[in-house]
Amino acid sequence: MGNESYGKKRFKRSRSHFADRITADGRDGWPVEAGRYRLVVSLACPWAGRVLVARRLLGLESALSLGITDPIQDDRSWRFTLDPDGRDPVLGIRYLSEAYEAREKDAPGGVSVPAIVDVPSGRLVTNDFQQITLDLATEWTELHRPGAPDLYPRALRAEIDEVMEDVFQDLNNGVYRAGFATGQEEYESACRDVFRRLDALTRRLAGRRYLVGDTLTEADIRLFTTLVRFDAVYHGHFKCNRYKLSENPVLWAYARDLFQTPGFGDTVDFDHIKRHYYRVHRGINPTGVVPLGPDTDGWTTPHGRERLGGRPFGEGTPPGAP
């Protein structure tokens, strides 16, 4: 998914090799332009899931087209076998690696999603999963829908950044450090970090609806894409099993609140999520058997978080139907 390597010693997530930015002034050579770029994602990937949520909330669907890969990779990584003739209908390629190779032959870091590709040239622009959503929120504003929320408000950025960094280190990335640990001590350290952060988030969210301020922000998006995968894959597959998300009343209600908010749950595909993790990670799950559970019906049950107030979209409005 996002720049992962599984060494003999410990799991490591590398920085994105292609960190060009698509900006309003085009300072990296890539100006914001409706229809010029294609976003490529796997519905299984939490890092790609962030971009899907941001794209929906900001109303960028018509400006930034979407290609979806098969959740199962082969030796050339992400492939477009879900599309007719096994080719992305816009880029005309069978593998995302072709866009990487068009940009730089034998580039380090592997082929990861999310990725944004320049349609006219067929070249990869960026796979910087940490920056893409921030730029969609701040550089693509002229193409936002009317009523789009401010997901990265300037006055709250320092607090948002601090919260996101803690969540990334201990939770977003922590579940992978636990899941791909090759030693008991390494696993226990990572797993403790995961639940230490979940416990801290429980305290933070017990009396407030959202992580920062009283509206949805980038911080909520980044937490959601890990929480929504927790019981389905991280609890069992990655051995993060001190408790299930559904056993934590505060975080389970918070996650359901987001899931039921337009732009969040409608980007989630539990089938893709489970098939990718359980069938691709053969070092952890050698049989490739995909579990039937957990039951996902609970995601649509009442959450009661409205009592905490908050304005999901601030002065804006919800996005329309997908």
**Catalytic residue numbers?**
45, 176
Residue 208 neighbours by CB distance under 10 Å: 15
Write the DSSP assignment of 111-134 as a string of letters.
--SSEEEETTTTEEEE--HHHHHH
Residues forming a β-bridge with 116: 39, 126
Sign of CA dihedral 115, 271, 260, 245: negative
Q: 316 to each of 144, 152, 267, 319, how far by Cα in Å?
A: 11, 14, 20, 9
Backbone angles phi and psi of 269, in degrees to 5: -130, 100
Q: In which residue are the tokens 């975080």 written? A: 251
Q: Is 304 exposed, middle or buried (0-12, 13-18, 19+ CB in 10 A)?
A: exposed
Cis peptide before 294 (omega within 30 of 0): yes
How many Cα atoms sit within 13 Å of 70 on the Cβ side?
Answer: 19
CA–CA dist 176, 137 (Å, integer): 27
Q: Is 32 exposed, middle or buried (0-12, 13-18, 19+ CB in 10 A)?
A: buried
